[in-house]
Copies of this chain bind each other. A is one copy, B any other.
């Protein structure tokens, strides 16, 4: 059961990334996952609920490939943010689906609680690393953890849109992110 639900969510995310939220067809998702459309309604209730679950799942998938690297808190933070940009197809798919679902929340208020919760979680994980950086001396104590969390995640999202649209290479996206973040973090010792 859990595997079938995962297969359905993966198929939904693929469809959303390739055709947009509006272009996602329940029939196509069912076909790709090898189940009947009726089963999708059985699992998710309706289309809106499927989108919410897909967004939640995009967040869970992102947790599997975004990781801080070993080192000082500043290094961990830079590594965590850089890992948003990877050449693996699954990472691009996940990022594209995130962008699509985030933009769908402009019209579909039902997506907002999940979007808000996932964005907050991201902001807090950055803020937590900034706090650790205050302790290990790798980040200036003048940097406000929550403000840094909002700014760095928003910067990553803005660069991600350009990266997905083919305006920035993976290397360039990471370089711009590091430049912006290091500038905001100030000098370390």
Residues of A within 8 A of B (CB): 18-23, 96, 99-100, 102-103, 105-107, 109, 112, 115-116, 119, 143-144, 147, 150-151, 153-162, 164-167, 176, 179-180, 183-184, 186
Q: Smallest CB-CB separation from A120: which chain B residue?
A: B167
In the complex, what residue of chain B is closest to A103 when comparing beta carbons? B99
Q: How far is the CA of A106 from the CA of B162 in the complex (A)?
A: 9
Q: How far, in angstroms, from A129 to B100 measured CA to CA in the complex?
A: 33
Known: A19-B22, A22-B22, A166-B112. A183 touches B151 (CB 8 A): yes
Main secondary structure on A side of the interface with B = helix
| Of A102, A105, A151, most B-chain CB atoms within 10 Å | A151
| Nearest B residue (CB) for A140 | B183
Give the interface centre of A143, A166, A180 by most chain B CB atoms within 10 Å.
Answer: A180
Known interface pairs A151-B179, A157-B158. Does A115 touch B184 (Cβ–Cβ under 8 Å)?
Answer: no
Inter-chain contact B161/A157, CB cutoff 8 Å: yes
Contact B180 A155 (CB under 8 A): yes
Question: Which of B21, B160, B167 is A115 in contact with, Cβ under 8 Å?
Answer: B167
Whole-angstrom distance between the Cβ of A62 and the nearest chain B Cβ: 15
Known: A106-B166, A143-B183, A155-B180. 11 other contacts (CB 8 A): A20-B22, A102-B161, A105-B165, A105-B166, A105-B167, A112-B166, A151-B183, A154-B158, A154-B180, A157-B161, A183-B184
How distant is the Cα of A153 from the Cα of B109 in the complex, in angstroms? 27
Bound-state Cα–Cα, A165 to B23, Å: 19
Interchain CB contact under 8 A, B164 and A180: no
Chain B hits for A162, CB < 8 A: 102, 119, 154, 157
What separation, in Å, do the CA atoms of A166 and B96 have in the docked complex?
Answer: 19
Q: Is the CB of B165 within 8 A of A106?
A: yes
The answer to whether A176 touches B164, judged by C-beta atoms less than 8 angstroms apart, is no
